[in-house]
């Protein structure tokens, strides 16, 4: 595996420190807005949130509470991502929260007027882009090998060591 220069690592560190808050900002502001006033989002969310709540044990069967829970999750995970605390887990949490939000809030296929359909399709596509960015953030290992890679490398090294010792006997 080729080594990166110190300059490249420093550049990537600066890039991460700038990109994470930018990606998280929409979730922090949206989560805060939702916690303060969930009423505008509750009717649209009910069509997705209530069937989900009936299938997932422990979730309240109240659309407004589910909207607030989603807002709290987006606010909390957004702040964690923005500050670089648990960035991979917070990015995954945000990605998971984005799925029902997108389906409930931007169902462009249900819009009848062409202008509304185009607006909802744009918002749906924007959320897909955010989802992709969150998946990249969730996979980012800060330039270090992933746990899976390190596990495979350790297993291969142990296998080589065992074979060397077995052949020496």
**In this predicted model, what pLDDT tens digit does every residue of 91-117 receive, in sequence order?**
999 999 999 889 888 889 988 999 999
The DSSP result for 153-166, as a single string, is HHHHHHHHHHHHHH
Contact 26, 131 (CB under 8 A): no
The pTM assigned to this predicted structure is 0.77
1 — pLDDT class (breaks 50, 70, 90): very low
Phi and psi based region of residue 58 (left: phi greater than 0; alpha: psi -120 to 50; beta: remaining): left
Place of tokens 């060397």: 164
Calpha distance 74→35 (Å, rounded): 10
| Overall average pLDDT of the 122-139 stretch | 95
């Amino acid at each position: 595996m080729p080594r990166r220069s110190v300059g490249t690592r420093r550049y990537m560190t600066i890039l991460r420190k700038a990109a994470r808050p930018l990606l998280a900002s929409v979730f922090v502001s949206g989560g805060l807005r939702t916690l303060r006033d969930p009423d505008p989002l509750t009717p649209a969310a009910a069509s997705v949130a209530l069937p989900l709540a009936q299938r997932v044990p422990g979730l309240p069967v109240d659309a407004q509470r589910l909207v607030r829970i989603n807002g709290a999750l987006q606010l909390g995970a957004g702040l964690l991502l923005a500050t670089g605390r648990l960035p991979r887990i917070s990015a995954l949490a945000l990605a998971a929260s984005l799925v029902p939000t997108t389906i409930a809030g931007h169902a462009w296929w249900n819009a009848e007027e062409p202008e509304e359909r185009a607006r909802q399709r744009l918002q749906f596509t924007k959320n897909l882009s955010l989802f992709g960015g969150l998946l990249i953030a969730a996979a980012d290992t800060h330039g270090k090998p992933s746990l899976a890679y390190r596990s495979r490398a350790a297993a291969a090294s142990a296998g080589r060591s065992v074979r060397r010792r077995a052949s020496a006997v």
